[in-house]
Structure 1
Amino acid sequence: MVHSTESRPVTIVTGGSRGIGAAIAERLAADGHDLALTYRVARDEAAAVAGACRALGARVLLIQADLADLDDAAGVVPATLAEYDRLTGLVNNAGVTMRIGDYIDIDLAEVERMLRINVLAPIAITRAALEVMSSERGGEGGTIVNISSGAATSGAPNTYVPYAMSKAAINAMTIGLSKEFGPQGVRVNTVSPGTTYTTIHADGGRPNAPEERAPGIPLRRAAHPDEIADAVAYFFGPGAAFTSGADLRVAGGS
């Protein structure tokens, strides 16, 4: 898809340095988006993703932000506007799990940090984005895609129930905002991945989780990040022009 610089979509992808976020960034770059990508510490990985996106014709802004810090989260949209002077899209992708284990063994400090990144940061960033996109506030409308998880509806027993709770909150945000801001020109949808080959499992202490879970997945394998990116790209495309408030589950039948 070819756009002039003035008409190219400008999309924020949080957590764009690796895994699903990196795949989303590269797919949207291929589809003609200019990008603002957030990362926390993976500077080299973020730079590599930015390079790949630029090779596809995209302009790319890298924003270092610890989204557990709500002041950092609040700065993402202003930094994007300072670079591009417009904003048409947001992918709330950044998220963390927690140590995999039984509910009784959870660490409340770990849960608090997870909720800041998975729930409070998306609330803050989305509010700022909506202030720019809303047609009632002079915006041109836009598209928001929230990355949830199949855990939001399974509950993730014996794994990470609080993480599942955080993603259920994201699902509720999609439903509410799609109804509130649809009349203002903003579509809001969710993509819910199942188990996917990313480093998030190692971060939770179970690096082999995709292989371990594969026998219980109807398609008998975990997802690859580009398969999640394809679902996100659908919501930004013309075929989804009448789709809002939807949850597209990409979980191999689980």
Structure 2
Amino acid sequence: MNLLITGASRGIGRATALLAATRGWNILVNYASDSLAAEITVQAIEQAGGHAVAVQGDVSQESDVLALFDAMEKHFGPTQGVVVNAGINATSMPLSEMTAERLRRVFDTNVLGAYLCAREAARRLPGSYAASDRDRSPSIVLLSSAAARLGSPNECVDYAGSKGAIDTLCIGLSKELGPKGVRVNAVRPGIIDTEIHASVGDPERLGRIGNQTPLGRPGSAEEVAEAIVWLLSPQASYVTGTNVDVTGGR
């Protein structure tokens, strides 16, 4: 089984790549710019006995998205799973202070990029399996965020809005592709221990908000990866159009 993961060189994408590889998936590790991190991820997969290849690509560029899927087919054959994970955030601030440039950058990557990847998956996945093989039906997993329902006021309402678009994409695309045997689901992480908090200028946010969850702690990238890989698996063969919260109850 062949799995393409966007933004797989670190964080949740990397954790998903490592876990999926242990479950028998061949992995295309997409990255935007950090080639070293991507190669380290590939090495970790191969050291564990899996197969992976790293491919650079900006998901907001249609030509790059097409090249990613072409690279998957070249290295491993037809794509049977796609995790649309690549996304960005920016420095915390209220909407009134955000520039058009910032808004465009967030939406280009998080919305346009996700839709381009999902569109290409919708074109290629339906023909990648035998219709009678329900247990190995192709699957798309989208990465949303708890921010989509919380709104992230005074922090990143642009990011929250971009993830709201992912929730809608999950619902609509699952209904388009269900008759073709392709499942589409989304995962909504909450406060997860990744680099994204430092990237928005608030490295203390992880502990401050994570400790306020009902479970009393932030989550890990590996915990989110478990949900993603389950949705890709035969164990989730009757699950589609669903958004799974991995938020510690927040």
Q: Which TM-score band (shorter chain)?
A: over 0.9
CA distance in structure 2 between the aligned counterparts of 1:87 and 1:66, rounded to whole angstroms: 19
State, as a whole percentage, how many aligned pairs show the same letter. Answer: 33
Mapped contact 1:143–1:187 kept (Cα < 8 A): yes
User: Structure 1-normalised TM-score?
Assistant: 0.92
Q: Does 1:193 align with 2:179?
A: no
Name the residue aligned to 2:214.
218
Indicate which of 120, 125, 137 corresponds to 1:133: 125
Q: Does 1:15 align with 2:7?
A: yes
User: Structure 2-normalised TM-score?
Assistant: 0.94
CA distance in structure 1 between the aligned counterparts of 2:124 and 2:65, rounded to whole angstroms: 16
Q: Does 1:244 align with 2:233?
A: no
Q: Does 1:228 align with 2:224?
A: yes
Mapped contact 1:68–1:116 kept (Cα < 8 A): yes
Mapped contact 2:151–2:161 kept (Cα < 8 A): yes
Name the residue aligned to 2:65.
73
TM-aligned CA deviation for residue 35 of structure 1? 0.7
CA distance in structure 1 between the aligned counterparts of 2:17 and 2:180, rounded to whole angstroms: 26
CA distance in structure 1 between the aligned counterparts of 2:181 and 2:195, rounded to whole angstroms: 36
Map 1:99-248; keep pairs closer than 5 Å.
Answer: 99-134=91-126, 138-140=127-129, 141-248=137-244
Q: Does 1:29 align with 2:21?
A: yes
CA distance in structure 2 between the aligned counterparts of 1:100 and 1:248, rounded to whole angstroms: 26
Indicate which of 14, 37, 51 corresponds to 1:45: 37
Mapped contact 1:133–1:139 kept (Cα < 8 A): yes
Mapped contact 1:89–1:142 kept (Cα < 8 A): yes
Mapped contact 1:97–1:200 kept (Cα < 8 A): yes
Matched AA of 1:154: L
Matched AA of 1:63: V
| Structure-2 change in CA distance of 1:59 and 1:215 (3 Å) | closer
Matched AA of 2:51: R
Mapped contact 1:145–1:189 kept (Cα < 8 A): yes
Indicate which of 40, 52, 62 corresponds to 2:54: 62
CA distance in structure 2 between the aligned counterparts of 1:214 and 1:181, rounded to whole angstroms: 36
TM-aligned CA deviation for residue 159 of structure 1? 1.0
CA distance in structure 2 between the aligned counterparts of 1:70 and 1:200, rounded to whole angstroms: 25
Q: 5+ unaligned residues in a row in structure 1: which ranges?
A: 1-8
